[in-house]
Amino acid sequence: MFYREAGDFKTSYRADSQTFPIRLDRMGFWAAMLIAYAVVPFVIDDYWANAVFVPFLIYAIAAIGLNILVGFAGQVSLGTGGFMAVGAYAVYKLMTAFPEVPFFFHVILAGGVTACVGVLFGLPSLRIKGFYLAVATLAAQFFLVWLFNKVPWFYNYSASGQITAPDRTMLGIYITGAQTSAVAKYLFCLVILTLVALVARNLTRGTVGRKWMAIRDMDIAAEIIGVNPLTAKVTAFAVSSFFIGIAGALLFSVYLGAAEVGEAFGINKSFLVLFMVIIGGLGSIFGSFAGAAFLVLLPVFLKNVLVGAFGWPTDVAAHLELMIVGALIILFLIVEPHGLAQLWRIAKEKLRLWPFPH
């Protein structure tokens, strides 16, 4: 009854092409932004920040980056963990080499370094695609992990082989290090996620995004109508790696504080972000948020229920979590291949037509 387009008139091309064409969608978006920026910071504590909000925000950035490459451009990638490691080690070297530079610029520069590496490993996409490209990006994953393990310069010749984020502040507030508050972590990641989502949304609905989708749907036909496969694929790898590098930098410096590349950025990380994109929905910015929320909240929920409520052993609950997540991934692939984003679209269509059946 309330979710209707009736009376919502458009008087310009700009209004007709906006992200949220229905007034209730716009109201919901601004209400969510108001809650995220004006309510959550006053009620968040260390548990909610470290267990739910900060990992969700960081993985949402990584999922947006991978979704641009896989969902919008159609280029399969299994090297997400390696590219996140590039962002983490880049921001570590920048933080230790240039301590006077604001930390925000370190994160952006780390994304730029990762974009350059992503373009380098994305060049094979000009000649190969599908399974072969997936194997090439998987090779990048193993190579980058090996490189960061074997070259001591990357971890400043530390005896442990780990990298540890030094204390850094912005506007006098600690963003990294042991003195960082939960609110500072949350707000810093939230601001960067907002900027990333805004850039990604405008890219995907503009000329660049249309070129990506043309290459995804049929690269030969796209080339015939004038789309340059070289620039389309390389820009997809560059933008995707840029966002993934930012996520890796935040995961190391803001969330973990210290990391060892094999444990923090192994092949499991690549599959985790890929599952977020699959469950959330390929080719959807909202799907990136939904998939990240699903795979961040589900383990926390299952742990609280199985261990906290039922008193199961922690190791049994951990194995059961993996089984449930795997079963849900298979279920989504069979029942709804387009993920949670498609379910959300269907629900909105039903609401727009209710109470009529079709």
Percent above pLDDT 90 for the chain: 52
Position with higher pLDDT, 318 vs 233: 233
- Taking residues 318-329, report their average pLDDT: 83
- Give the chain's mean pLDDT: 89
Outline where DSSP puts E strands in 148-240: 163-164, 168-170, 173-176
Residue 355: asked if its preceding bond is cis (omega within 30°), the reply is: yes
Question: How confident is the model over 33-64, as pLDDT tens digits?
Answer: 999 999 999 999 888 899 899 999 999 999 99
Q: What is the pTM of this model?
A: 0.93
Question: How confident is the model over 145-178, as pLDDT tens digits?
Answer: 999 999 999 998 888 888 999 998 888 889 998 8
Closest CA to 60 of 283, 263, 286, 299: 286
Residue 210 has pLDDT above 60, yes or no: yes
Cβ pair 69, 77 in contact under 8 A: yes
Looking at residue 15, its pLDDT comes to 73
What CA–CA distance (Å, rounded) separates 125 from 320?
A: 38
358: confidence class by pLDDT, cuts 50, 70, 90? low
Every domain of the chain and the residues it spans: 44-265
